[in-house]
């Protein structure tokens, strides 16, 4: 007999913790992080925490389209780069003769929106294709955009890059990224519980079935990608501001996408709490590796990736039985099958 007949009370109790446990922990954690700067912390510690928030945000966004919808985006950094360059251009250049230079807060939403528009126009074409074509088209877009940025020298500074106004405000940066991360992860938590999220998972698990049940799959995928691109663009814009310098090579970095994928995979593809968990673990590992084996940084990441695929393809939360997770291997199989 396969079916276990739990008494109703038991199931409901379990589902209460499953439903709200993550959110309660998350709110407690956010509360602690909001107070963290008031403990005795150094600027470097604040900076490190900001980097982790950024990784959480980027990975969560990647996970929305890659993990939950099942469309593996190998070029997601393009949205980060477009956001960064929009920030760089708008605050240092005056691209339109009549328009003045903008401030950070003015440039920020524009950076997000431009990334979103790029996502919608790209997705319009590529999301109709089989999953593997989408992945490769995104990788191509990423590489092509980097070259375009290099060529558009008058606007982007070309290979020499752009210098942004130097501002050092570690505390402000900390709270900004904390807020963005809080918005992104909470939104994804909400999406996962909404009908929209259920439809995304349905698309991932069986796109033809979803389509036949009346789900407008193209529109759903497009919206997921657009949301992911918007917040990735915002994060890129912030990064440009924080780093005070951008050029094509530091912005359009392949390893940024690798980090998003690895973080999601480590925590659990398709889960809400996987990317935050994965980011903390990955950042800690990277910190140890950075300080001890500086030259072998990428090698260590590669080894970790192989380890994950071989021994823990479902990630930490997948191992713990989170139902929205999908193992990396199954994701790749779906990637091939999808029409």
Partner 1 sequence: MKNPLLEGRQISKSFQGLAAVKQVNLTVFTGEMMGLIGPNGSGKTTLFDCLCCLQPVDRGKIFFKGRNVTQARPNQLARMGLARTFQRIRIYRQMTVLENMLISRQWRGETLLDIFKSSHRQTKIRAKELLEFLLLSHLDREYAGNLSGGQQRLLEIGMALMPDPEIILLDEATSGINPTLINTIKERILILNQQQGKTFLIIEHNINFISDLCSRVCVLHQGEKLAEGTPDEIKTNKAVIEAYFGR
The one among 34, 211, 245, 253 contacting partner 1 by CB under 8 A: 211
170 vs 176: CA distance, rounded Å: 10
Q: Report the site for partner 1 in 58-87 (rule: CB under 8 A).
A: none
Instruction: Give the residue with the Cβ less far from partner 1, 17 or 25.
Output: 17
Instruction: Give the residue with the Cβ less far from partner 1, 291 or 336.
Output: 336
Pattern 6-25, binding to partner 1, x per CB under 8 A? -----x--------------
Report if residue 223 touches partner 1, rule: CB under 8 A: yes
Report if residue 217 touches partner 1, rule: CB under 8 A: yes
Sign of the C-alpha dihedral computed for residues 323, 324, 327 and 331 taken in this order = positive
Sign of the C-alpha dihedral computed for residues 34, 39, 41 and 43 taken in this order = positive
Report if residue 287 touches partner 1, rule: CB under 8 A: no
Number of residues that bind partner 1 (CB under 8 A): 27
177 vs 243: CA distance, rounded Å: 14
Using CA atoms, how far residue 170 sits from 42, 103, 167, 309, in Å, is 10, 18, 9, 37
Report if residue 199 touches partner 1, rule: CB under 8 A: yes
Q: Is 109 exposed, middle or buried (0-12, 13-18, 19+ CB in 10 A)?
A: middle
The one among 208, 288, 298, 329 contacting partner 1 by CB under 8 A: 208
- Residue 173 C-beta: closest distance to partner 1, Å: 31
Instruction: Give the residue with the Cβ less far from partner 1, 1 or 97.
Output: 1
Report if residue 317 touches partner 1, rule: CB under 8 A: no
Tokens coding 152: 């558009």
Instruction: Give the residue with the Cβ less far from partner 1, 145 or 199.
Output: 199
220 vs 197: CA distance, rounded Å: 9
The one among 19, 297, 319, 323 contacting partner 1 by CB under 8 A: 323
- The stretch near partner 1 (CB under 8 A) out of 86-94, 157-165, 196-204, 274-282 is 196-204
- Residue 318 C-beta: closest distance to partner 1, Å: 11
Q: Is 54 exposed, middle or buried (0-12, 13-18, 19+ CB in 10 A)?
A: buried
Report if residue 194 touches partner 1, rule: CB under 8 A: yes
The one among 76, 220, 334, 338 contacting partner 1 by CB under 8 A: 220
Instruction: Give the residue with the Cβ less far from partner 1, 264 or 325.
Output: 325
Cross-strand bridge partners of residue 245:
163
Report if residue 254 touches partner 1, rule: CB under 8 A: no
The one among 35, 44, 97, 212 contacting partner 1 by CB under 8 A: 212
The one among 54, 59, 65, 201 contacting partner 1 by CB under 8 A: 201
Per-residue burial over 114-152, b = 16 or more CB atoms within 10 Å of its CB, e = otherwise: bbbebbeebbeebbeeebeebbbbbbebbeebbeebbee
Rounding to the nearest 10 degrees, give the CA dihedral for residues 251, 75, 117, 273. -90
The closest alpha carbon to 46, from 228, 230, 176, belongs to 176
Helix (H) or strand (E) run with residue 246 in it: strand 245-246
Interface positions with partner 1 (CB under 8 A): 2-3, 11, 194-196, 198-199, 201-202, 205-206, 208-220, 223, 323
């Amino acid at each position: 007999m396969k079916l276990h007949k739990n008494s109703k009370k038991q199931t409901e109790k379990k589902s209460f913790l499953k439903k709200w446990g993550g959110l309660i922990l998350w709110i407690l954690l956010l509360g602690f992080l909001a107070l963290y700067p008031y403990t005795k912390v150094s600027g470097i510690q604040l900076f490190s925490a900001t980097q982790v928030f950024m990784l959480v945000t980027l990975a969560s966004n990647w996970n929305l389209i890659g993990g939950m919808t099942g469309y593996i985006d190998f070029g997601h950094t393009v949205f980060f780069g477009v956001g960064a360059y929009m920030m760089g251009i708008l605050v240092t250049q005056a691209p339109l003769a009549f328009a003045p230079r903008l401030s950070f807060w003015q440039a920020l939403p524009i950076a997000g929106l431009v990334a979103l528009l790029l996502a919608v126009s790209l997705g319009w074409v590529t999301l109709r294709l089989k999953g593997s074509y989408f992945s490769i088209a995104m990788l191509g877009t990423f590489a092509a955009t980097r070259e375009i940025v290099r060529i558009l020298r008058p606007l982007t500074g070309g290979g020499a890059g752009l210098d942004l106004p130097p501002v050092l405000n570690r505390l402000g940066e900390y709270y900004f990224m904390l807020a963005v991360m809080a918005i992104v992860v909470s939104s994804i938590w909400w999406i996962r519980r909404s009908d929209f999220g259920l439809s995304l998972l349905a698309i991932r698990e069986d796109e033809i079935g979803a389509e036949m049940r009346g789900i407008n799959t193209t529109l759903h995928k497009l919206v997921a990608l657009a949301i992911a691109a918007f917040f990735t663009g915002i994060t890129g814009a912030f990064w440009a501001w924080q780093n005070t310098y951008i050029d094509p090579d530091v912005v359009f970095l392949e390893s940024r996408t690798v980090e998003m994928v690895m973080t999601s995979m480590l925590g659990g593809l398709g889960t809400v709490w996987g990317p935050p968990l994965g980011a903390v673990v990955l950042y800690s590992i990277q910190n140890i590796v950075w300080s001890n084996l500086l030259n072998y940084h990428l090698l260590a990441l590669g080894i970790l990736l192989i380890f994950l695929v071989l021994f823990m393809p479902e990630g930490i939360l997948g191992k713990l039985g989170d139902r929205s997770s999908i193992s990396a291997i199954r994701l790749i199989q779906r990637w091939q099958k999808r029409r």
